[in-house]
């Protein structure tokens, strides 16, 4: 089998109104990815304007990249660190008191490498209350990080994280209980 990208087709995927997507693209670059705009209140307003559901006390640091805010729901007292990428082709749900540290990635999309057409695969990500996604870690599509789990630095969650467990590696494996 050989990959043939000339046959790649995502006509089935409709992320939203094209004008809205284009407008968000520029807002995202100017106010979120731009490290010269540190004002959290503007970011919160813009995310809500574009359809994100946000709780109280959400902190969004500079350099964050969010694909589609209308697919984002964030609870109370959540910290999103510098250079986090939320590639939410599908819904991303983030609970209360969650920390997503700098450079982490939430990736709702992937490709079916076993098909010659390299089809797009999308799936939701759910991050429950009290979770910490450490710096430069990756959470892939169709994953739930259960209550108070921890994904350590440079780790990749390809399976659900169980509550009160600490995970490390690629793929991430539980190494001990969180006390």
pLDDT, one tens digit per residue, over 17-41 is 999 999 999 999 999 999 998 899 9
Q: What is the DSSP string of 120-179?
A: EEE--EEE-TT-EE-TT-EE-TTEEE-TT-EE-TT-EE-SPBPTTEEEETTTTEEEEE--
Number of domains in the chain: 1
Write out the two tokens for 98: 């969650």
Report d(CA 171, CA 174) in Å as an integer: 10
Residue 69 lies in a domain: yes
> Quick count: other Cβ atoms within 10 Å of Cβ 140?
19
pLDDT, one tens digit per residue, over 112-164 is 999 999 999 999 999 999 999 999 999 999 999 999 999 999 999 999 999 99
Residues spanned by the domain of 168: 40-177
Report d(CA 40, CA 15) in Å as an integer: 26
Residue 136 lies in a domain: yes
Residue 26 lies in a domain: no
Residue 90 lies in a domain: yes
Evaluate if pTM is beyond 0.75: yes
Q: What was the pLDDT predicted at 116?
A: 96
């Amino acid at each position: 089998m050989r990959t043939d990208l000339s046959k790649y087709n995502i006509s089935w995927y409709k992320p939203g109104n094209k004008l809205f997507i284009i407008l968000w693209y520029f807002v995202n670059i100017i106010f979120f990815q731009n490290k010269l705009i540190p004002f959290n209140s503007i970011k919160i307003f813009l995310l809500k304007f574009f359809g994100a559901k946000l709780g109280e006390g959400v902190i969004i640091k500079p350099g964050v990249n969010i694909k589609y805010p209308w697919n984002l729901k964030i609870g109370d007292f959540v910290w999103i660190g510098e250079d986090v990428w939320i590639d939410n082709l599908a819904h991303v749900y983030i609970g209360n008191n969650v920390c997503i540290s700098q450079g982490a990635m939430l990736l709702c999309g992937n490709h079916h490498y076993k098909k010659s057409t390299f089809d797009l695969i999308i799936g939701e990500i759910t991050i429950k209350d009290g979770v910490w996604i450490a710096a430069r870690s990756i959470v892939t599509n169709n994953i739930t990080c259960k209550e108070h789990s921890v994904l350590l630095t440079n780790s990749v969650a390809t399976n659900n994280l169980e509550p009160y467990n600490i995970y490390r590696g690629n793929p991430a494996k539980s190494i001990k209980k969180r006390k």
